[in-house]
C-alpha cells in the first residue's frame, strides 16, 4: 500500500472535503482481503514491537485524533491489542483536571511520552488545545493561535531526543457519524457510550472540520507527519494505520542486541 497518498506534506493546504472518508482503493480485494491483510500486518507489527523493546533504543509516539465516533478506540483495540502490553501504553486525554489546568497545557502530555523501547498511543492529545478549545472558545484567539508553534516545537524536541512520531486523523463523514451515534442509542449495551454533549459537538461539525484543516496544515512536519485516514470503513481504517506503523518501524532498521560472549559453551543441566 502507498501510505504516502494519505500523508499531509508540510505546508500543504488541506480541504477535507476533497478527501473521501469511504476510500478503500488501497486494498483492491475489498473487506475480506483487507481483514486477511490486517492479520498479516499485525503479526509483523508484533514482531517489530518485540524488536523495538529488545533493542531499547528507539521510541514511538502515535497520536490519534477524530470526531466523536471516529473510531479511535476501535483502531487501538484492533491494531495495538495483540501487542505485548509491557511495551505499549495508551494515554486518554479527556477534559483537564484542576491540577492539570494549574500548569501549562503540555504538562499533562509530556509525562505520557514513550521511553526507550516503548510505544505510546495518545487517544486524543495535545491537539485538543487547538481543536475543542478553539471551536468552543475556551481560550482567547491570541492564546490558542500561539499553540501551533508550541506544538511543533514540542514535537521537534521529542524527535530530536529520539522519538519517532506518527499522527493519524481518522476522517469520517457526517453521515457515518449519524449512523454510529444512532447505533449507540439503539443498542442498550452501547448506551453508556452516548452523551448528549456529542450532539452539541455535532452541531458544530463545520467549525470542527475547519479547525482540523488548520491543525493539519500547520503541524504536519517532516519530524511529525499527519496521515488522513479514511475511516468510514472500519476495516480499511485499521489496515491504513497498521500499514503505516509497519513501514515506519521497518524504516528504523532495528536489530536485536548482540548476545553475551560465551553463550555457545553453556549447557543447561
Q: What is the pLDDT of residues 24-61, one digit of tens each?
A: 999 988 999 999 999 999 999 999 999 999 999 999 99
Ramachandran assignment for 258, one of left (phi > 0), alpha (psi -120 to 50 degrees), beta (any other): beta
The confidence score (pLDDT) of residue 233 equals 97
Q: What is the CATH number of the domain that holds 34?
A: 3.40.50.300
In a domain, 264, yes or no: no
Pairing, β 163-171 against β 59-66: parallel
* pLDDT higher than threshold 80 for residue 261: no
The confidence score (pLDDT) of residue 193 equals 84
In a domain, 258, yes or no: no
Higher pLDDT, 268 or 149: 149
In a domain, 202, yes or no: yes
In a domain, 260, yes or no: no
In a domain, 263, yes or no: no
Q: Which residue segment(s) compose the domain that 212 sits in? A: 3-252
In a domain, 56, yes or no: yes
In a domain, 10, yes or no: yes
* pLDDT higher than threshold 90 for residue 265: no
What is the Cα–Cα distance from 16 to 174, expressed in whole angstroms?
Answer: 12
Residue range 107-122: mean pLDDT, rounded: 97
In a domain, 257, yes or no: no
**Count of domains forming the chain:** 1
Q: State how far Cα 103 lies from the chain centre.
A: 24
Residue range 90-110: mean pLDDT, rounded: 93
Higher pLDDT, 59 or 186: 59
Closest alpha carbon to 211 in 124, 109, 128, 104:
128
Amino acid at each position: 500500500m502507498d501510505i504516502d497518498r494519505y500523508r499531509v506534506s508540510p505546508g500543504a493546504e488541506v480541504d477535507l472535503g476533497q478527501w473521501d472518508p469511504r476510500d478503500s482503493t488501497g486494498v483492491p480485494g475489498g473487506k475480506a482481503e483487507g481483514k486477511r491483510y490486517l492479520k498479516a500486518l499485525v503479526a509483523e507489527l508484533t514482531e517489530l514491537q518485540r524488536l523495538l523493546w529488545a533493542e531499547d533504543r528507539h521510541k514511538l509516539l502515535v497520536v490519534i485524533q477524530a470526531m466523536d465516533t471516529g473510531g479511535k478506540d476501535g483502531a487501538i483495540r484492533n491494531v495495538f491489542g495483540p501487542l505485548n502490553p509491557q511495551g505499549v501504553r495508551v494515554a486518554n486525554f479527556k477534559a483537564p483536571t484542576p491540577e492539570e489546568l494549574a500548569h501549562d497545557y503540555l504538562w499533562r502530555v509530556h509525562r505520557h511520552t514513550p521511553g526507550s523501547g516503548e510505544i505510546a498511543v495518545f487517544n486524543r492529545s495535545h491537539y485538543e488545545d487547538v481543536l475543542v478549545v478553539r471551536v468552543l472558545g475556551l481560550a482567547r484567539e491570541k492564546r490558542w493561535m500561539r499553540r501551533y508553534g508550541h506544538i511543533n516545537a514540542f514535537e521537534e524536541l521529542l524527535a530530536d531526543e529520539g522519538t519517532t512520531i506518527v499522527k493519524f486523523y481518522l476522517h469520517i463523514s457526517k453521515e457515518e457519524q449519524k449512523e454510529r451515534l444512532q447505533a449507540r442509542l439503539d443498542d442498550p449495551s452501547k448506551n453508556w457510550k452516548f452523551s448528549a454533549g456529542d450532539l452539541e459537538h455535532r452541531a458544530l461539525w463545520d467549525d470542527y472540520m475547519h479547525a482540523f484543516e488548520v491543525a493539519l496544515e500547520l503541524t504536519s512536519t517532516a519530524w511529525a507527519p499527519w496521515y488522513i485516514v479514511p475511516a468510514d470503513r472500519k476495516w480499511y481504517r485499521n489496515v491504513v494505520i497498521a500499514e503505516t506503523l509497519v513501514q515506519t518501524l521497518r524504516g528504523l532498521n532495528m536489530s536485536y542486541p548482540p548476545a553475551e560472549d560465551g553463550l555457545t559453551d553453556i549447557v543447561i543441566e
